[in-house]
Structure 1
Amino acid sequence: MKRLLLTLALACTALLPAQADQALATAKSCMACHTIDSKRVGPAFKEVANKYRGDKGAVDRLALKIRQGGVGAWGPVAMPANAQVNEADAKKLAAWVLSLK
């Protein structure tokens, strides 16, 4: 019984970072242009994760793009710079996006 409770507790805590990072994405206005599963203005976060899967430098590059913006990686629509996101939050957001499957 203790083992089952421990397993359940660990499973629940594994879900918390994903929820917290989606909350961060919402708070930082990322969800205005992106969704997790489908294209909105920008690509779906899962599509971004698939494109960069296995790329060891992706977290840093995506964090920079979150903060500075960019154009061309997903077509002609520019991603505006997001000045309200600090470097630590940008890396947290990038890691969360890349963790999606």
Structure 2
Amino acid sequence: MMLRVILISALLASPAIAAEDGAKVAAKYNCLACHSVDKKIVGPSYKDVAAKYKGQKDAEAMLMAEVRKGLPGGKWGKIPMPAQQIEEKDLRVIIRWVLAQ
């Protein structure tokens, strides 16, 4: 019984841990200088990105590629996003956190 309670507690806590990790990793790479969770700064808000790609099966892979390569102006506004040098595992945490908004 105790093990079941521990497992259920761990499963319920995972989204909160993932969100906290996503925010920390985004801050580590200075993503929050141009983006915020709920409002446009230089780039789109993370909620806008999540809404745009909601339900797309390839959204994670596509966003990872776009962050790595950068984006020309036009997709989200006139200001281009330069290519970002983020470790693969950290970028995956950030993208999953963004898509969970």
Q: TM-score scaled by structure 1?
A: 0.84
Shift of 1:13: 3.6
Identity of aligned residues (%): 36
Shift of 1:37: 0.6
Shift of 1:9: 5.1
Shift of 1:95: 1.4
In the alignment, which of 59, 74, 80 is matched to residue 82 of structure 2? 80
Q: Deviations over 1:30-85 (max 9, x none)?
A: 101000011111010000000000111110110111122112210211011112x0
2:100 maps to 99
Q: For 2:33 and 2:21, locate their aligned partners in 1 and report how far apart those are by CA, in whole Å.
A: 17
Q: For 1:9 and 1:90, locate their aligned partners in 2 and report how far apart those are by CA, in whole Å.
A: 24
Count of aligned pairs? 99
Q: Which runs of 5+ in 1 are unaligned?
A: none
2:15 maps to 14
Question: Using CA pairs below 8 Å that are at least 6 residues apart, which structure has the higher relative contact order?
Answer: 2
CA RMSD of aligned residues (A): 2.1
Q: Which runs of 5+ in 2 are unaligned?
A: none
Report if aligned partners of 1:67, 1:87 keep a CA contact under 8 Å in 2.
no
| Larger displacement relative to structure 2 (58-67 or 44-53) | 58-67
Q: TM-score scaled by structure 2?
A: 0.84
